[in-house]
Amino acid sequence: MVFQKPPDGGWGWVIVAVSFFAQFLCYGSPLAVGVLYLEWLDAFGEGKGKTAWVGSLANGIGLLASPVCSICVSSFGARPVAIFSGFMVAGGLMMSSFAPNIYFLYVSYGIVVGLGCGLLYTATVTITCQYFDKHRGLALGLISTGSSVGLFIYAALQRELIELYGLDGCLLIVGALSLNILACGSLMRPLESSSSPPPEKTCVDKVPDQYFVYHEKEKTVEENISILEKGYIDEKCVNSVPDCKQDSILNKNVLSSISINEKDTYKKKVVEQTNFCKQLAKRKWQLYLTYWKETVVLFKNRVFSALFVAILLFDIGGFPPSLLMEDVARSANISEDDYYMPLISIIGIMTTVGKLVLGILADFKWVNTLYLYVTTLLMTGVALFAIPFAKSYLTLAMLSGILGFLTGNWSIFPYVTTKTVGIEKLTHAYGILMFFAGLGNSLGPPIVGWFYDWTQEYNTAFYFSGFCVLLGGFLLLLAALPCWNACTKQSSKLPPNTYSYKVASNA
């Protein structure tokens, strides 16, 4: 398939609009799952750690399965995958309304909805990148705010629907709303050249056809031999029984000499195909070996290794507030009359602001993106340490806003990754980091919930979360100190294909 040059406009802005609304409809409920979390606690009576698995799976499984999602989009295209993901998200939400226990929710809400979100995210990002080149950063920034706006609106919407129709009715209505993803997906027209000639078959595609031709040829020759042989033998056996055996042997020799050229040609082709398959398997094995060698080289990069630890610890400690903040307020005995806005809604709207502001700051030449990212990690750790001291709605709302703004550092994470490993290694490195980010998203809320089940209070849990985020921030800061560059130059040169993040380059 030959793609046209990205138009950087035109139908591309329609793609941006439908991708925004698709992410809004898809991620609204999973990101605002904290409202449902309270209802599931009351409905099933399970522990907080066990119940938290539902929301953590829904938000983490998409990142964990990001390689599979990328393969699906590459194989089938963005439009079919987006439409299929709409069915998955809507179906998972509707099935969750009939959940008899928490284990059913692990599958219906955690895995089905989570995989649908992962597929849709990959499809929207892929097709947006195809339509934009010069304005790609702006387009991606606009569609990424769809999930944050969805968090802001769905937190209040789900609470209102629960009061009016109950938990089951809320999930049915939200699932029905998610069916609008199908309309958004149908508008994701693929950018491809309609007048381009069909691609010529490669050697790999030609070999099976050639094998089929020679296989049929050999089959035809053998059938002809069998027919002639049978007819000739029958005729001779009727006329002269003693000579039947001798003539049969003579006939076989004659016919074998006739077909020897065809069989030799076929054998040669089989040998050629076998050698080709061996070479192809060898090349594939070399690709796998190269991939793992490049992965080892990436982890030899000091800053990348620290970044890997930092993103894992950040998601373990920084993600739980968006899921558990409502329960934190209820545990602090804050009256519902004091609620002016759901705390999760505050996190959602401030995450949108944080993505935009931090993204703009990252574009300034005098701003070092790695130091900016480390600053957000350290501030997040401090804010998590402050949550146990918040005993009123106002203080929890302020901390929710701060945490939401700092969570917007996702918008600058690709910048940091690019500066660390180089643009050539970005896809490989980013895939590894996103996998472990999904692992952190999946583990964070259950760990915090288990701490509550053990201690019957959230203080220890958020001290642990704050420690994780601070540890990741300090490790990344330590790895990025300029003194390491001088030590590295004096000791030895870096291995090939690795990149050193020059921290003081933009300072």
Give a yes or no: residue 332 inside a domain: yes
- Tell me how far apart the alpha carbons of residues 32 and 198 are, in angstroms, rounded to a whole number: 46
pLDDT in tens, 43-77: 888 888 888 889 888 888 888 887 788 778 878 88
Neighbours of 134 (CB within 10 A): 10
Give a yes or no: residue 398 inside a domain: yes
Of the residues 148, 167, 193, which one is the last residue of a structural domain?
Answer: 193
Give a yes or no: residue 167 inside a domain: yes
pLDDT in tens, 297-330: 878 888 888 888 999 999 898 888 877 888 888 8
- Tell me how far apart the alpha carbons of residues 79 and 15 are, in angstroms, rounded to a whole number: 11
pLDDT in tens, 486-504: 555 554 444 444 444 443 3
Same domain, 11 and 131: yes
Say if CB 497 and CB 425 are below 8 A apart.
yes
Residue 165 confidence class, pLDDT cut points 50, 70, 90:
very high
Closest CA to 30 of 101, 100, 85: 85
Of the residues 193, 211, 231, which one is the last residue of a structural domain?
Answer: 193
Same domain, 77 and 183: yes
Q: What does pLDDT average to over the chain?
A: 77
Give a yes or no: residue 227 inside a domain: no
0.75 exceeded by the pTM?
no
Same domain, 184 and 282: no
Same domain, 438 and 323: yes
Distance of CA 503 to the CA centre of its chain: 30
The first and second tokens of residue 154, run together, are: 């769905």
Give a yes or no: residue 492 inside a domain: no
CA distances, 242 to each of 239, 247, 503 (Å): 9, 10, 98
Same domain, 451 and 312: yes
Q: How many structural domains does the chain have? A: 2
Give a yes or no: residue 318 inside a domain: yes
pLDDT in tens, 355-397: 888 877 877 788 888 899 999 999 999 999 999 888 888 899 9
Of the residues 166, 193, 220, which one is the last residue of a structural domain?
Answer: 193
Amino acid identity for residue 68 in this structure: V
Give a yes or no: residue 42 inside a domain: yes
Same domain, 182 and 285: no
The residue range of the domain holding 362 is 274-483
CA distances, 421 to each of 191, 414, 428 (Å): 30, 11, 10
Give a yes or no: residue 305 inside a domain: yes
The first and second tokens of residue 188, run together, are: 């994701």
Residue 128 confidence class, pLDDT cut points 50, 70, 90:
confident
Instruction: For residue 333, give the CATH number of its domain.
Output: 1.20.1250.20
CA atoms within 13 A on the CB side of 505: 11
